[in-house]
Amino acid sequence: MPAPRDRQFPANFIWGAASSAFQTEGSLDVDGRGPSIWDVFPRERIHDGTDASVAADSYRRYGDDVALLADAGLKAYRFSISWSRIVPDGSGAVNEAGLDYYARLVDALLARGVAPYATLFHWDLPQALQERGGWTNRETAERFAAYADLVTQRLGDRLKHFVVLNEAAVHAALGHVTGMHAPGLTDAGVLGPVIHHQNLAQGLAIQALRAAESDLIVGTTMALMPSRAEGGVLSWFNEQAANGFDEVWNGAFLDPLFRGTYPSVPQGMVESVLRDGDMETIRQPVGFLGVNYYAPSYMRFNLFAPSFIEPAPAPSGTERDAFDRHVDPSGLYETLLRVRDQYGNPPVIITENGCSDPFSDGPAVIEDQFRIDYLRQHLEAVKSAMEGGCDIGGYFHWTLVDNWEWAEGYRSKFGLVAHNRETGVRTEKASYRWFSELARSGALDGAV
């Protein structure tokens, strides 16, 4: 990866922060919200045995979040809308109180000059839809489009930026194959249908959004990562494994959206649910592609693993974060160039990037130099990619306030700001101040 030629981001580059409803809002039982798949996911499968009933308490303290964003000079906030706050059973009656919450949040952001970017689905499917098969059921895609239409009808006069889906690959694989996430299934046989119905939902929703308001900027977000093969004597086999994984993890979402086709491995997995016309529905122009990046993956061949593919450890000696993820900004650079070269150089926004404190049930690390270092390295990769011609318009840090990290519960903390769940006090970390200076000046400090 080349070093950036200079360290100044353009003046119109969008600096923001990202979050999601279930991880952040808390107040799960108020104002008519219906249960989602994460509400019923067993507590025993959360590492610290917690639930998200408090989270960052943002349902009640969203005003504090808005002040933190605006005071930092951030120009945008990516949050997600909880489907089950708005349509508690996934289809049918609309819950006005749920819509009101998001209207208040959007208005508060706009009043402070922070552009709202709303993700429509960040993994918290209404439980009532799961009981009808969730994403294995084609109907869920239609219900999603109806919900997306409702949101734009009601908020689209003020809310102009949408991220349709968040990381469909993670939801498909961790929720339906490994069982680490809700709905907690361990059935590789449903992977194809879950992938395809999310893609279809996305296509239908993009069409609905565009029909409802013509001036919306509609994107979608993917968890893109290079799939690298373990070396050694089996390296040829490992390459095949890594390529197969890449087709399912990255290609199964990029190719349908930008080319209207599936790569060969996922094609075989979706065939049973693919209908005439689906690929035309899925292939849609987007205002931007959201790229979430944390680390590359390493894969290898194993004769005894399902589909002969299993994760491999990162090469020894590489730096790791608290998740044991390999800290490797070159994977971000490589991903951005791939999008440039293979998918027609669409406008891109980095919709998530960041790192966790070391896992701990104790308080957050306030002097978080490791986070500043991580961000600086990854932003160098972004800048180098821009200098290489990638059309990258913004960078959203994951996340603003420490929140509830899915199966890790509260023991993983990604925020620029700490949150004391007993007192509600939010404490700015060193990274908050650093990121704020960057957002104001656009100048990445430190030597190249």
- 275 vs 320, beta carbon nearer ligand GCO: 320
Tracing tokens 């961790």 back to the chain, one arrives at 174
207 with 284: CB under 8 angstroms?
A: yes
If the CB atoms of residues 255 and 402 are measured against ligand GCO, the closer one turns out to be 402
How many beta carbons lie within 10 A of that of residue 444, not counting itself? 18
Nearest to 184 by CA among 406, 403, 411, 29: 406
Work out how close the CB of 11 gets to ligand GCO at its nearest, in angstroms, rounded to a whole number.
Answer: 28
Give the number of residues written for the chain: 448
Using CB under 6 A as the binding rule, whether residue 149 contacts ligand GCO is answered as no
Q: How far apart are the C-alpha atoms of 245 and 309, rounded to whole Å?
A: 8
Instruction: CB nearer to ligand GCO: give 80 or 199.
Output: 80
Q: What are the structure tokens assigned to 23, written together?
A: 């991880």
Nearest residue to ligand GCO, using CB? Answer: 167
Q: Is residue 23 close enough to count as binding ligand GCO by CB under 6 A?
A: yes
How many residues touch ligand GCO (CB under 6 A)? Answer: 10
Beta bridge partners of 117: 78, 161
- What residues from 237 to 276 belong to the interface with ligand GCO (CB under 6 A)? none
292 touching ligand GCO, by CB under 6 A = yes
Determine if residue 269 is left, alpha or beta; phi over 0 gives left, psi from -120 to 50 gives alpha, anything else beta. Answer: alpha
CB of residue 352 vs ligand GCO: minimum separation in angstroms?
5
- Find the shortest distance in angstroms from Cβ 448 to ligand GCO: 28
Residue 281 interacting with ligand GCO (CB under 6 A): no
d(C-alpha 213, C-alpha 211), whole Å? 6
Residue 200 burial (10 A CB sphere; 0-12, 13-18, 19+): buried
Q: Is 387 a catalytic residue?
A: no
- The whole-angstrom separation of Cα 378 and Cα 352 is 11
Selected from 124, 352, 380, 402, the binder of ligand GCO by CB under 6 A is 352
Residues 6+ positions from 286 with CB-CB distance below 8 Å:
206, 218, 219, 220, 257, 346
Indicate which single residue of 25, 167, 230, 380 sits in contact with ligand GCO (rule: CB under 6 A): 167
Q: In this chain, which of 166, 202, 353, 431 binds ligand GCO, going by CB under 6 A? A: 166
For residues 40 to 79, the per-residue mask of contacts with ligand GCO, x marking binding by CB under 6 A and - elsewhere, is ----------------------------------------
Listing DSSP states for 6-54 in one string gives --B--TTPEEEEE--HHHH---TTSTTPPPBHHHHS-GGGSTT---SSS
Q: Write down the catalytic residue from 25, 167, 239, 247.
A: 167
Residue 108 or 355 with smaller CB distance to ligand GCO: 355
Active site residue 25: no
Q: Which is nearer to ligand GCO, 225 or 392 (CB)?
A: 225
Tokens representing 44 are 């025993």
Residue in 247, 334, 352, 408 annotated catalytic? 352
* Closer CB to ligand GCO, 128 or 223, in the complex: 223
Binding-site string for ligand GCO from residue 376 to residue 415, where x marks contact by CB under 6 A and - marks none: ----------------------x------x--------x-
237 token code pair:
């086999």
Could you give the angle at which helices 96-111 and 58-71 cross, rounded to 10 degrees? Answer: 20
Separation CA 116–CA 76 (nearest Å): 6
Q: Using CB under 6 A as the criterion, what x/- string covers residues 82-111 for binding ligand GCO?
A: ------------------------------
The smaller minimum CB distance to ligand GCO, of residues 82 and 281, is found at: 82
User: Which residues are part of the catalytic machinery?
Assistant: 167, 352
Binding residues vs ligand GCO (CB under 6 A): 20, 23, 166-167, 223, 292, 352, 398, 405, 414
